[in-house]
Chain A
């Protein structure tokens, strides 16, 4: 195996990690907002959130990235506006697409977890004289987290893998460097194997981190 490719590939690692982290956090904030909207049944916003979920879970991520990156250029109105400098940056567009995509899937997950907490848990809390806030923070959310956390761990890995698609809109992440090295050297098997190993290492580390997090957060549910 030719080791000289490694430094070149690792140049893209920073972008991949940064993109993953920022999109995950943005997606998480959005997902929490969306879940609140859905749980509280805010009338005007509910259908908007549902539409967002439908659009972003029903179409390929790659199209979402293309749509956000290439799409706005069609309208002069957007081109003249103040957001254009942001929307013409591949990094921002990839981040936005990943965040919105992750938000849609995470909202489904969080809403499902909250709905899965039995009604009787609420009633038991009320019977014990807890306030609404106490019940939510001490009983309902921890139990919902127990259901949501393992699935959210999957989502983290999916976003990390999805960030590789940013290379299609000229962003030089790990995949971007791998594709360029492949085009320069034609040493396909070596280059992609090395890139693959780096991705696998990231998946492995993330999986361990998520396990550790679950262990900490779910400490209450062990006997």
Chain B
């Protein structure tokens, strides 16, 4: 049968989709958050609107809009019927959703960096761009990590939605196996457990990354404190 191989392949597809959406989403989130912090008001306002719209729409609608809408738009523009790859459409839609939430986290993280840091950099003659990449971004990482981590967990679960536009991911594999074996409970259950395992592993890695990002603050005596503190914030934020 090779069902194990099929499920492994589908898991890889789910992970690949989630990771590529994460990469693209982070890039877009940085762009969005900088645009929102921009002094040029029309740009800031437009970006805020886009973010608010993305957050207010159901995820499934965004995915359908990107997938079916892009085909429709291409048809209107060129009069040709081009089928967009479901994987590409899924990645774009998921990264849009991710970036809408992540940009808010990043904006907060950037604002958490004291003004003095950028002022000191400009006093030292460091260019604005260099200052952003070498001074602001590395320092805000610590503040952004818990939020971005939780949004990654949400993204991971949202990837299940792309099965609806035909990406051969874990959920679609479960659906096909359930249909052919007449054992829906077993196969959807197995898919759910695989998602759960990925979530738990992600949580574990994120916890370690959080400890690592705070290591310069974690003296031996306050080690216990930060670990319990981060446990509290993580449970809060997932909620």
The interface of chain A, by Cβ under 8 A from chain B, is 54-55, 57-64, 66-67, 70-75, 105-106, 108-109, 112, 115-116, 151, 155, 157, 161-162, 164-165, 167-168, 175, 178-179, 182, 186-189, 192-193, 195-196, 199-200, 203-204
Contacts and interface: CB of A to CB of B under 8 A. Distances in A.
Nearest to A191: B68
A200 B196 contact: no
Interface string B47-81: 00000010111111100110011011100100000
A158 to B, nearest CB: 10
Given A55-B196, A62-B171, A112-B235, A175 B61 contact: yes
8 contacts: A63-B160, A67-B189, A112-B239, A157-B56, A161-B59, A167-B60, A182-B64, A203-B57
Nearest to A193: B65
A195 B56 CA distance: 12
B82 interface: no
A182 B164 CA distance: 15
Contact of B65 (A67, A116, A157, A192): A192
A61 B185 contact: no
- Which of B53, B192, B232 has the largest number of chain A CB atoms within 10 A? B192
Contact of B239 (A60, A74, A109, A182): A109
A59 B196 contact: yes
A153 B60 CA distance: 21
Contacts of A59: 157, 192, 195-196, 199
B182 interface: yes
Contacts of B159: 60
A106 B239 CA distance: 7
B69 A189 contact: yes
B61 A112 contact: no
The size class of the interface chain B forms with chain A is 35 or more
A112 B232 contact: yes
Nearest to A55: B196
B58 A58 contact: no
A105 B56 contact: no
A168 B189 contact: no
B64 A58 contact: no
A70 B184 contact: yes
A72 B171 CA distance: 18
A115 B233 CA distance: 12
Given A105-B239, A189-B73, A74 B199 contact: no
Contacts of A75: 185
The 7 A-B residue pairs with the shortest CB-CB distance, nearest first, are A60-B160, A203-B56, A164-B58, A108-B239, A71-B185, A109-B239, A188-B72
Nearest to B64: A192
A193 B182 CA distance: 38
B158 interface: yes
B56 A200 contact: yes
B188 A70 contact: yes
A164 B178 contact: no
Contacts of B171: 60, 62-63, 66
Contacts of A195: 61
Contacts of B195: 58-60, 63
Contact of A200 (B53, B60, B239): B53
Interface in B141-162: 157-161
B183 interface: yes
A6 B2 CA distance: 48
Contacts of B158: 60
Nearest to A151: B239
B184 A192 contact: no
A60 B175 CA distance: 14
Contact of B184 (A71, A112, A182, A187): A71
Contacts of A62: 160-161, 163-164, 171
A64 B161 CA distance: 12
Nearest to A202: B56
B230 interface: no
Contacts of A189: 69, 72-73, 76
Contact of B72 (A72, A112, A186, A196): A186
A54 B196 contact: yes
